[in-house]
Structure 1
Amino acid sequence: MGHWLLANSTNGKPNDGAQKEAAARFGVSRRTVRRFWSKTKQKIQSGAAVIFTSAHKGTVHKDRKKLDVEKVKSLSILERSTIRKMAVKLGVSKSLLGQLIKRKELRPHTSAIKPQLTDVNKIARMKFCLSNVVYDGAMSRYSYQSMHNVVHIDEKWFYMTKTSDRYYLLPEETDPYRACKSKRFITKVMFMCAVTRPQFSADGQELFDGKIGIFPFTTLEATKRKSKNRAKGVLEVKPIQSITKDVIKECIIKQVIPAIKEKWPKSDQVKHIFIQQDNAKPHFNKDDPDFQAAANSDGFNIELVCQPANSPDVNVNDLGFFRAIQSLQDDKMAKTVEDLVQNVLISFEKLSSVTLNNVFVTLQGCLTEIMRVKGSNDYKIPHINKSRLLRMGMLPECIELDEGLIKDSLTHVMQFDVNAGTNYDIGGLIHHFGFG
Structure 2
Amino acid sequence: MTDEERWEIYHALLARSINGKLKEYHTTEVSNLFSVPLQTVQKIWRRAKNTPNGEAVDVSHKRKGNCGRKKNHIDLSRIVDVPLRRRKTLQSLAASLDMSCTSLFRCLKDGLIKRHTNAIKPSLTENTMRVRLEFCIFMLDRSTMPDHPKFNVMHDVVHIDEKWFYMTKRQSLIIFIPLKKLHRIALVKVHPVQRKIRNRAAGTMELKPMTSIKREDIKEFLIEKVLPRIRERWPREDFGKPIYIQQDNARTHVDPTDEYFRAAASQQGFDIRLMCQPPNSPDLNILDLGFFNAIQTLQHEVCPKTTEELVYAVKNSFDEYSSKHVNRIFLTLQSCMKETMKVRGSNDYKIPHLKKAIMEK
- Equivalent of 1:144 in 151, 162, 168: 151
- Cα deviation for residue 277 of structure 1 reads 0.9
Q: Which residue of 1 aligns with 2:133?
A: 126
Q: Which residue of 2 aligns with 1:341?
A: 311
Task: Label 1:104 to 1:215 Cα distance change in 2 as closer, same or farther (>3 A).
Answer: farther
Distance in structure 2 (CA, Å) of the matches to 1:137 and 1:131: 13
Q: Is the contact made by 2:161 and 2:248 (CA closer than 8 Å) also made in structure 1?
A: yes
Distance in structure 2 (CA, Å) of the matches to 1:69 and 1:379: 29
- Cα deviation for residue 159 of structure 1 reads 2.0
259-268 or 365-374, which moves further after superposition?
Answer: 259-268
- Cα deviation for residue 313 of structure 1 reads 1.6
- Cα deviation for residue 93 of structure 1 reads 5.9
Q: Is the contact made by 1:271 and 1:301 (CA closer than 8 Å) also made in structure 2?
A: yes
Q: Which residue of 1 aligns with 2:169?
A: 162
Q: Which residue of 2 aligns with 1:82?
A: 89
Give the number of the structure whose alpha-carbon radius of gyration is greater.
2
Instruction: Give the letter for the 1:351 counterpart.
Output: Y
Q: Which residue of 1 aligns with 2:37?
A: none
The reply to whether residue 71 of structure 1 matches residue 66 of structure 2 is no
- Equivalent of 2:213 in 226, 243, 251: 243
Query: Which protein has the bigger helix share?
Result: 2
Q: Is the contact made by 1:329 and 1:344 (CA closer than 8 Å) also made in structure 2?
A: yes
The equivalences for 1:28-427 within 5 A come to: 68-90=75-97, 94=101, 97-98=104-105, 100-101=107-108, 105-134=112-141, 136=143, 140-163=147-170, 186-195=171-180, 211-268=181-238, 271-391=241-361
Q: Comparing both chains, which one has the higher relative contact order based on Cα–Cα distances under 8 Å and sequence gaps of 6 or more? A: 1
Task: Label 1:290 to 1:88 Cα distance change in 2 as closer, same or farther (>3 A).
Answer: closer
Summarize deviations over 1:52-81 as a string: whole Å, max 9, x none: xxxxxxxx9899999755222222212221
Task: Label 1:287 to 1:71 Cα distance change in 2 as closer, same or farther (>3 A).
Answer: closer
Question: How does the TM-score come out when normalised to structure 2?
Answer: 0.73
Distance in structure 1 (CA, Å) of the matches to 2:321 and 2:153: 21
Instruction: Give the letter for the 2:128 counterpart.
Output: N
Instruction: Give the letter for the 1:317 counterpart.
Output: L
Sequence identity, in percent?
A: 42
2:133 counterpart SS class: helix
| Structure 2 gap segments, 5+ residues each | 1-63
| Structure 1 gap segments, 5+ residues each | 1-59, 164-185, 196-210, 392-436
Task: Label 1:225 to 1:136 Cα distance change in 2 as closer, same or farther (>3 A).
Answer: closer
Distance in structure 1 (CA, Å) of the matches to 2:303 and 2:93: 39
1:141 counterpart SS class: coil
Instruction: Give the letter for the 1:106 counterpart.
Output: I
Task: Label 1:103 to 1:294 Cα distance change in 2 as closer, same or farther (>3 A).
Answer: farther
Q: Is the contact made by 2:144 and 2:150 (CA closer than 8 Å) also made in structure 1?
A: no
Summarize deviations over 1:260-287 as a string: whole Å, max 9, x none: 1222234545642111111211222233
